[in-house]
């Protein structure tokens, strides 16, 4: 009750603080709109300066001056206008379409100015003045109208922000007080009920935890059976089909002269089939190592470690102590999967260039250790909870224990201990 009341009080204080922050944000928004309006006025002044400059360029009393005389003045206006627009874009509340229209129109205006001065350089003063009258002045008026619309939009936005600030602040302040009162009433009404309900909840959680463990055991067993079936189908059916096709192509190639291009094509197809066959065998081995059924755990580990080194580049030092003891097939597959998962973690997460695998047979138990000298469990950023959970579940299935240890100098050690007489569930 005390904790809940404290939480409600903290929430109320936090809500009031957020409302004050909201007011500050709204004020900053208004200030930003005002700063944006000042920059828009600066842009508008530059556009007015352009209008005056173009009027002077077309004034008959100024016709004695060549148009090139105004190039420097136009350049100064261009630089100042570009700076004002760059600053305004960082503060602008305009839509992307409005900003794109404004920047595009300005770019087109200065592009037209460049073309007019190109005519001047070619000695076509009359044509250049005509284009100023017909094109540039119209573009300048369109830009001025666009900036004027943005100024009006900013003013309307500023007024709306002020109104919304006051309305939101008043409404949220009332909500905070109403929430606090409602929380006090709700806490008083539900506290006694929660005490009894929590007791029942903890009992149900314990039962659910036990059911989850049982479900995990069944899922792992179903997974292994599925992997074993798919592996056998790949190895026996698809493997035999590809082997037969390869043999048929080999016989067909012998009947074709060596100089015939068709023989080279058949050899190429035969190579593709052989590559596919190798991939299927590898996949079959990953899903369920057939050698585990034939050569036992030691043979399967030897074969897996060799392939692991080639695929990952991680050097593996394998050490076996004690006389080998026969293991039940289900026990062997779980031990093999634990070794797979631990080595996969070494390759993916530990950043260690090498690992050690130790298999020891004692009179009462078998001990499997996988050790690396990488970053260790505590320093890894990647989430590996599912892999560790899977290893724990497999250890429980074979009545074994698993430890995840870390060294003070870095590195991790996974130790699986399986009683020699243990049977898988």
Would you tell me how many other CB atoms lie within 10 Å of the CB of residue 378? 8
Task: Label residue 370 by pLDDT band (50, 70, 90).
Answer: very high
Helix axes 137-233, 385-397, angle to 10 degrees: 10
pLDDT at 76: 92
Does 345 have pLDDT greater than 60? yes
Find the helix or strand (DSSP H, E) in which 361 lies: strand 354-361
pLDDT band, very low/low/confident/very high, at 402 (cuts 50, 70, 90): very high
Helix, strand or coil, per DSSP, at residue 40: helix
With tokens 């003013």, the residue in question is 155
Mean pLDDT for the chain? 81
54-77 pLDDT, tens digit per residue, is 888 887 765 567 888 888 888 999
Tokens of 100: 């794109």
3-state secondary structure of 320: strand
User: Domain 2-188 belongs to what topology?
Assistant: 1.20.120
Q: Looking at 85-94, 165-174, 270-279, which range is the least confident one? A: 165-174
Lowest mean pLDDT among 36-50, 114-128, 319-333: 319-333
With bands split at pLDDT 50, 70 and 90, how would you rate the model's confidence at 249?
confident
Question: Minimal CA–CA distance to 373: which of 310, 312, 315, 311?
Answer: 315
417, pLDDT greater than 90: yes
In the predicted model, is pLDDT for residue 3 greater than 80? no
- The pLDDT assigned to 424 comes to 45
Domain 292-419 classified CATH 3.30.565.10? yes
Separation of alpha carbons 10 and 2, rounded Å:
12
Is the per-residue pLDDT at 378 higher than 80? no
- Output the CA angle 144-148-151, nearest 5 degrees: 140
Q: What residues pair up with 418 in beta bridges, in sequence order?
A: 366
Tokens 């190039």 sit at which residue?
71
> Which has more confidence, 162 or 105?
105
Give phi and psi for 413, each to the nearest 5.
Answer: -135, 125
The residue-averaged pLDDT of 325-343 equals 85
| Rounded mean pLDDT, 232-254 | 78
Q: What does the block give as tokens for 286?
A: 């990953």
Most confident of 19-28, 35-44, 157-166: 35-44
- Say whether pLDDT at 159 is over 80: no
Domain residue extents for the chain: 2-188, 292-419
SS3 417: strand
For the beta carbon of residue 391, count every other beta carbon within 10 angstroms. Answer: 22
């Amino acid at each position: 009750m005390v904790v809940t009341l404290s939480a409600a009080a903290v929430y109320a204080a936090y809500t009031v603080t957020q409302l004050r922050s909201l007011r500050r944000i709204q004020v900053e928004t208004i200030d930003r709109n005002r700063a944006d309006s000042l920059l828009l006025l600066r842009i508008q002044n530059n556009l007015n300066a352009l209008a005056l400059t173009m009027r002077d360029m077309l004034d008959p009393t100024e016709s004695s001056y060549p148009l090139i005389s105004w190039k420097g003045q136009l350049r100064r206006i261009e630089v100042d206008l570009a700076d004002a627009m760059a600053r305004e874009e960082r503060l602008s509340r305009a839509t992307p379409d409005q900003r794109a229209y404004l920047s595009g129109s300005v770019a087109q205006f200065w592009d037209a100015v460049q073309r007019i001065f190109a005519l001047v350089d070619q000695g076509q003063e009359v044509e250049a003045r005509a284009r100023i009258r017909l094109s540039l002045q119209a573009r300048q008026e369109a830009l001025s109208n666009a900036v004027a619309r943005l100024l009006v939009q900013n003013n309307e936005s500023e007024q709306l922000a002020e109104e919304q600030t006051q309305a939101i602040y008043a409404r949220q302040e009332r909500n905070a007080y109403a929430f606090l009162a409602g929380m006090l009433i709700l806490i008083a009404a539900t506290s006694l009920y929660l005490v009894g309900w929590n007791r029942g909840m903890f009992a149900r959680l314990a039962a659910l935890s036990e059911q989850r463990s049982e479900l995990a055991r069944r899922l792992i067993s179903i997974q292994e059976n599925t992997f074993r079936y798919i592996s056998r189908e790949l190895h026996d059916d698809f493997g035999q089909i590809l082997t037969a096709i390869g043999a048929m192509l080999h016989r067909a190639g012998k009947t074709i002269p060596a100089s015939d291009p068709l023989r080279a094509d058949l050899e190429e197809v035969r190579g593709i089939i052989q590559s596919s066959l190798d991939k299927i065998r590898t996949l079959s081995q990953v899903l369920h190592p057939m050698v585990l059924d034939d050569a036992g755990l030691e043979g399967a580990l030897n074969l897996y470690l060799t392939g692991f080194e080639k695929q990952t580049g991680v050097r593996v030092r394998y050490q076996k102590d004690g006389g080998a003891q026969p293991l039940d097939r289900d026990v062997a597959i779980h031990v093999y999967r634990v070794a797979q998962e631990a080595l996969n973690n070494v390759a993916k997460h530990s950043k260690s260039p090498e690992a050690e695998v130790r298999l020891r047979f004692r009179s009462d138990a078998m001990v499997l250790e996988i050790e690396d000298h990488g970053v260790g469990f505590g320093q890894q950023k990647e989430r590996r909870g599912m892999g560790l959970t899977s290893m724990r579940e497999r250890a429980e299935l074979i009545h074994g224990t698993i430890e995840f240890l870390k060294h003070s100098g870095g590195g991790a050690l996974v130790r699986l201990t399986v009683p020699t007489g243990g049977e898988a569930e």
